Chain A
Amino acid sequence: MATPAGAPARLQMLGITKAFGRTRALGGVDLEVMPGEIHALVGENGAGKSTLMKVLSGAHAPDGGRMLLDGRPYAPRDPQEARARGVGMIYQELAIAPHLTVAENLVLGAEPRRGPWMDRAAARDLARRTLDSLGHGDIDVDAPAAGLSPSRLQIVEIGRSLALGCRVIVFDEPTSSLAQGDVGRLFQLVGRLADRGIAVVYISHFLEEVRRLASRLTILRDGRSVGTHAVAAIADERIVAAMVGRDVRELYPRSPRRPGEVVLRGGVPGRGDLEVRRGEVLGICGLVGSGRTELLRGIFGLDPGGRTEVGGRTVPPGPRAAWASGMGFVSENRKEEGLALALGIGDNVCLPSLRKLGRAGLVSPAERSRRTLRWIDDLGIRCEGPDQPVGRLSGGNQQKAALARLLEAEADILLLDEPTRGIDIAAKARIYATVDRLVTDPARPRAVVMVSSHLPELLGTCDRIAVMGRRGLGPARPVAETSPEALMAEATAAS
Chain B
Amino acid sequence: MSTDTPPPTKARLGRALAALGPLLALALVWVGFALLEHRLEGTPILGSAMFSREAVAQVVQQSVVIGIAAIGMTFVIIAAGIDLSVGSAIALASVVAAKLAVAGHGAAAVVLGTLAAGGAAGLLVGLLIVRAGLIPFITTLGTLLVLRGLALGLAGSQPINIQELAWLRFWLNGLPPGWEWLVIPPGGWLMLVLAGLAAATLRLTVFGRHVHAVGSNEQTARLCGVAVDRIKVAVYVIGGLFAAAAGLMLASNQGQGDPTGANGYELDVIAAVVIGGASLGGGVGSVLGSLVGALVMTVIRVGCGLNGIDDSTTRVVTGAIIVAAVLADRLRRRSA
The reply on A139 being an interface residue by CB < 8 A is yes
The reply on B11 being an interface residue by CB < 8 A is yes
Given contacts A108-B213, A116-B207, A118-B206, contact A97 B4 (CB under 8 A): no
**CA gap between A284 and B216 in the complex, in Å:** 36
Interface residues of A in 81-139 (CB under 8 A from B): 83, 91, 93, 95-100, 104, 108-111, 113, 116-118, 120, 138-139
B220 touches A99 (CB 8 A): no
Tell me the interface secondary structure of chain A in the complex. Answer: loop
A118 touches B209 (CB 8 A): yes
Q: Which residue of A lies closest to B204 (CB)?
A: A117
- Closest beta carbon of chain B to A199's beta carbon, Å: 21
Q: Which residue of B lies closest to A150 (CB)?
A: B4
Q: Which residue of A lies closest to B12 (CB)?
A: A142
A99 touches B206 (CB 8 A): no
The reply on A49 being an interface residue by CB < 8 A is no
- Closest beta carbon of chain A to B219's beta carbon, Å: 7
- Closest beta carbon of chain A to B323's beta carbon, Å: 23
Contact string against A for B residues 1-30, beta-carbon threshold 8 Å, 1 for contact and 0 otherwise:
010111010011000000000000000000
B283 touches A98 (CB 8 A): yes
Residues of B within 8 A of A95 (CB): 217, 219-220, 223-224
Residues of B within 8 A of A140 (CB): 5, 8, 11
A98 touches which of B207, B216, B219, B225 (Cβ 8 Å): B216
B204 touches A100 (CB 8 A): no
Interface residues of B in 224-248 (CB under 8 A from A): 224-226
A111 touches B12 (CB 8 A): no
Residues of A within 8 A of B219 (CB): 93, 95
- Closest beta carbon of chain A to B14's beta carbon, Å: 10
Given contacts A109-B224, A117-B204, contact A100 B8 (CB under 8 A): no
**CA gap between A139 and B1 in the complex, in Å:** 11
Residues of A within 8 A of B207 (CB): 116
Q: Which residue of A lies closest to B213 (CB)?
A: A97
Residues of B within 8 A of A93 (CB): 219
B206 touches which of A116, A139, A160 (Cβ 8 Å): A116
Given contacts A142-B12, A148-B5, contact A160 B212 (CB under 8 A): no
The reply on A143 being an interface residue by CB < 8 A is yes
Given contacts A108-B226, A109-B224, contact A143 B5 (CB under 8 A): yes
B209 touches A104 (CB 8 A): yes
The reply on B157 being an interface residue by CB < 8 A is no
Given contacts A116-B207, A142-B12, A147-B5, contact A99 B212 (CB under 8 A): yes
Given contacts A104-B209, A117-B204, A118-B209, contact A96 B220 (CB under 8 A): yes
B205 touches which of A79, A83, A96, A116 (Cβ 8 Å): A116
- Closest beta carbon of chain A to B82's beta carbon, Å: 17
B206 touches A97 (CB 8 A): no
The reply on A152 being an interface residue by CB < 8 A is yes
Given contacts A109-B224, A147-B5, contact A117 B284 (CB under 8 A): no
Excluding A100-B216, A113-B206, A116-B205, 7 further A-B contacts by CB distance (< 8 Å) are A97-B212, A99-B284, A108-B209, A116-B206, A116-B207, A117-B206, A140-B11
* Interface residue ranges, A against B (CB under 8 Å): 79-80, 83, 91, 93, 95-100, 104, 108-111, 113, 116-118, 120, 138-140, 142-143, 147-149, 152, 160
